[in-house]
Amino acid sequence: MNRPAPRRRTAPLTAAALAAVLLLAAGCGDRPTTHHKPGTGHEQGTGSGGTLLAARDDSGHRLRDLPAADAPTVRAEARPDTEGGWNVHLAVERFRFTPESTGGGALAGRGHARLLVDGRETARAYGPWFHVPPGARTLTVRLYADDHTAWSVAGAPVETTVPLASASSAPSTPASASPSAPPSPSSAPARTPDPTPTGRTLDIRVTGSTVTPAPSRVELKKGERITLRVTSDRPDTVHVHGYDREATLTPGTPAALTLTADRTGLFEVETHESGLVLTQLVVR
Amino acid sequence: MTAGPPPPLPLAHGVGAQHDLPLSPFYAYAGAFTALLVSFLGLALLWSSSRFRGDRAGIPLPAGLQRLTDARATRTALRLLGAALALFFLAHLLLGPDDPDRNPAPGALYVLLWVGLVPASLLLGPVWRLLNPLRALLSVRQPRAPRPIHSAVGIRPAAAGLLLFAWLELVAPDNTSRAVLLTALAVHLAVQLLGAARHGADWFAHADPFEVYSSLLARLSPLGRRADGKLVLRSPFDGLDSTPETPGLVATVCVLLGTTAYDGLSDNPRWITTLQTSSLGPTATATLGLLAAVALAAACYGLCAGTLRLLNRDLATPLTSFAHSLLPIALGYLTAHYFSLLAVEGPRTVMMAGGTDNAPSPAPPLGPAGLAVLQVAAIVTGHVLGVVAAHDRSVRLFPPARAVAGQLPLFALMIAYTLGGIGLLIA
């Protein structure tokens, strides 16, 4: 690679400027860390609420049993987000999110929720609203006490599971006090989700460097929904500029990408690897 | 959650993810109609003897302001500012992430410099001449015996440089990657510094594409220098009239018109299909398209100049005599095509330079209708300014009896450029 050699005459000045920039860059790069106040670590406490059982949930936390009448309940509702993923709302009863006392002793009706995406724990929720990025197929929400024990009724954790794969779904599965098996990947829906599209569907096929139908403009009204079903003959990624939506293309399998056209402008739909423009979305 | 962050996006077409909406026919027809109407009204009603006085016109600025702007300290400060900005750019380019979404360097070049120079030069005059970091670099070690530049060279090297830059911006693959930008920068520096080592700082006024671009646009600025060297406030028409008829002026203007037109064409789905299915490959086809757009703009102008020559045998230089009147048209094209890029990507680039990682794009300042009005207004205003400038030059050069007839080829040319420009905004 050619470096611009003629800059050498100002070497000391350049060096000073580079050093300054480096210093600045180093100062900004640190990732935030979580600090625990003394006495609020992650070790399981021995609070007073409920009965601590010897049984553990699938992530190794002991269960804390409550009578059904006192136990919290949780329902989750997921709506597809216009930029991908889902917006999830938790409706809880007899339960309050208490992020400020996490790590403390267990008190009935207080604590946090843990989110398990496709059976794997990924995050905690300290409030009723959160976002799940695209790619998830099922979401399980389980309620925990401040001391990281799982609230349970008759030995079954208080939890709810929402399937996320289908775009049309906004199902709310009421939490049952009955035990529910943790979702296993085999029970998840098929690999290529087949969303029931709302709005128009545009089928595009990519063969080599040929796009069928040939790139054209799709006129959309602001707020309209469109589903792009793209079939490629090679592995690739399809990307909608401006909306920054992406879908992975597996050879021969149509990949669907649904979006709400909520910004006006002309946006190109492109493949990354082959760098082809598939179509243009004209949103007025 | 389970998947990692998406990989950085290789943008195939410079900076910016959103393009302007195609113009709706209503605005296009309204603009075309206004342009035609104004042209013929101008032909019939405008003055019959030349009014513009070029570099003899203008109201001098107060003496204190003159002294301040011409002070050595001001000039040095501007030089240092330009050099500091260039070093900042270079540091980001060399050390920042190789991703246009996280590195402000590509945006600084394609948006802040290239597009930002338009409003800056229009308001303040030839700013890049004052900020040009190459001049700062040269002032560190002046060449001992600079040789004068041959008069036939003119600003032709800058026209070539502008064409190369447009190719980099509109055609070159991966044009926001570090490797490509560094290569382009190395070529630019080599050409400029070798030329300057031979010819001194004067070389930049002839060969630095950004300096020539800024100086030409500054002809339409209300701030300018009179022939006696005084800084004056003047009508943009006088500034335009004083555009030096250097060799290469026509080429430069045609490059500006042609490349901006190609930018409009490159959004057209049919052209995209042509690019993607061409057996030459997309880059070669796009290069040919860019050259064809410039050639078309130049051919139209050549045809017009030939007709002018037929109408008036005494016209020694029909090509350069009217080239200045195309500058406002080029400015109209530039404004129409790049306004939203500057308004959206400009602030984003500044935010990134200020340390915001992956800054969000601010909302466009104008809605679709507002933007359409602005685009059409820019093209029509450029057209009107061009018509007036050409008219004045025409009544000066032609005998009164033939002045009206003498303008007809130019009018036809300008209407063609303007309708073409509006047509490309619909496409």
Burial of B176 (0-12, 13-18, 19+ CB in 10 A): buried
Query: Distance between CA A190 and CA A192 in Å, rounded?
Result: 6
- A215 with B273: Cβ contact below 8 A: yes
Q: Which of residues 6-25 of A touch B (CB under 8 A)?
A: 6-7, 9-10, 13-14, 17-18, 21-22, 24-25
Whether B297 has a pLDDT exceeding 70, the answer reads yes
% of chain B exceeding 90 in pLDDT = 57
Of B89, B100, B114, which Cα lies nearest the Cα of B11? Answer: B100
pLDDT band at B7; cut points 50, 70, 90: very low
Residue A140: DSSP 8-state:
E
Report CA B123 to chain centroid distance, whole Å. 14
pLDDT, tens digit (0-9, with 9 covering 90-100), for B186-238: 999 999 999 999 999 999 999 999 999 999 999 999 999 999 889 999 999 99
Task: Report pLDDT for A52.
Answer: 86
Strand-strand pairing, A62-65 and A150-153: parallel
Instruction: Please tell me which of the candidates A122, A209, A239 has its beta carbon nearest to residue B1.
Output: A122
Backbone angles phi, psi at A120, to 5 degrees: -110, 135
What's this model's pTM, rounded to 2 decimal places? 0.71
Strand-strand pairing, A245-249 and A277-283: unpaired
Strand-strand pairing, A277-283 and A217-220: parallel
- Answer whether B183 touches A (CB < 8 Å): yes
- A120 with B2: Cβ contact below 8 A: yes
Does residue B383 contact residue B35 with C-beta atoms inside 8 Å? yes
Task: Report pLDDT for B193.
Answer: 93
Helix or strand (DSSP H, E) at B270: helix B269-277
Task: Report pLDDT for A198.
Answer: 57
pLDDT band at B251; cut points 50, 70, 90: very high
Q: Which of residues 117-146 of B touch A (CB under 8 A)?
A: 137, 140-141
Task: Report pLDDT for B4.
Answer: 35
Of A271, A5, A60, which Cα lies nearest the Cα of B188? Answer: A5
Question: Among A39-48, B129-138, B157-166, which is the least confidently predicted range?
Answer: A39-48
Within 13 Å, how many C-alpha atoms sit on residue A103's CB side? 11
Instruction: Pick the more confident residue, A61 or B14.
Output: A61
Q: What 3-state class would DSSP assign to B43?
A: helix
Instruction: Please tell me which of the candidates B22, B277, B367 has its beta carbon nearest to residue A266.
Output: B22
- B182 with A135: Cβ contact below 8 A: no
SS (H, E, C) B345-372: HHHHHHHHHCCCCCCCCCCCCCCHHHHH
For residue B194, what are its two tokens? 């070798």
% of chain B exceeding 70 in pLDDT = 96
- Answer whether A208 touches B (CB < 8 Å): no
- Cis peptide leading into residue A99 (ω within 30°): no
- Answer whether B97 touches A (CB < 8 Å): no
Other Cβ atoms less than 10 A from the Cβ of B45: the count is 7
To probe the interface with A, which of B276, B351, B357, B361 has the most A CB atoms within 10 Å? B276
For residue A271, what are its two tokens? 């493949």
Position B162: which residue type? L
Helix or strand (DSSP H, E) at B373: helix B368-397
Query: Structural domain boundaries of chain B?
Result: 25-426
Helix or strand (DSSP H, E) at A75: strand A73-80
Phi-psi region of A195 (alpha: psi -120 to 50; beta: other; left: phi over 0): beta
The boundaries of every CATH 2.60.40.420 domain in chain A are 200-283
DSSP per residue over B276-299, as a string? Answer: HH-TT-HHHHHHHHHHHHHHHHHH
Whether B16 has a pLDDT exceeding 90, the answer reads no
For residue B378, what are its two tokens? 């820019």
Q: How far is B10 from chain A (nearest CA, A)?
A: 7
Position B156: which residue type? R
Query: Distance between CA B38 and CA B320 in Å, rounded?
Result: 24
Task: Report pLDDT for A199.
Answer: 72
Does residue B48 contact residue B399 with C-beta atoms inside 8 Å? no
- Answer whether A214 touches B (CB < 8 Å): yes
Position A229: which residue type? R
- pLDDT of chain A, 284 residues: tens digit per residue: 333 333 334 444 444 444 444 444 433 433 333 444 433 444 444 445 788 888 888 888 889 998 888 889 999 888 888 778 888 989 898 899 998 888 888 888 899 999 988 888 888 999 988 998 887 888 999 999 998 999 998 888 999 988 886 543 333 333 333 344 444 333 333 333 444 445 788 999 999 888 988 898 999 988 888 989 999 999 999 999 888 888 889 898 888 888 888 888 888 999 988 888 999 999 88
pLDDT, tens digit (0-9, with 9 covering 90-100), for B262-281: 998 888 889 999 988 888 98
Q: What 3-state class would DSSP assign to B247?
A: coil
pLDDT, tens digit (0-9, with 9 covering 90-100), for B372-418: 999 999 999 999 999 999 889 888 888 877 777 778 888 889 999 99
Task: Report pLDDT for B14.
Answer: 57
Query: Distance between CA A121 and CA A140 in Å, rounded?
Result: 9
- A10 with B277: Cβ contact below 8 A: no
For residue B361, what are its two tokens? 């794009």
Domain A200-283 has CATH 2.60.40.420: yes
Q: What 3-state class would DSSP assign to B403?
A: helix
Q: How far is A215 from chain B (nearest CA, A)?
A: 6
- Answer whether A211 touches B (CB < 8 Å): yes
Nearest chain B Cα to A265, which residue?
Answer: B21
Place of tokens 């050699």: A5
Q: What are the respective helix, strand and coil percentages of chain B, to the nearest 5?
A: 70, 0, 30
Phi-psi region of B154 (alpha: psi -120 to 50; beta: other; left: phi over 0): left
Q: How far is B152 from chain A (nearest CA, A)?
A: 28
Does residue A14 contact residue A4 with C-beta atoms inside 8 Å? no
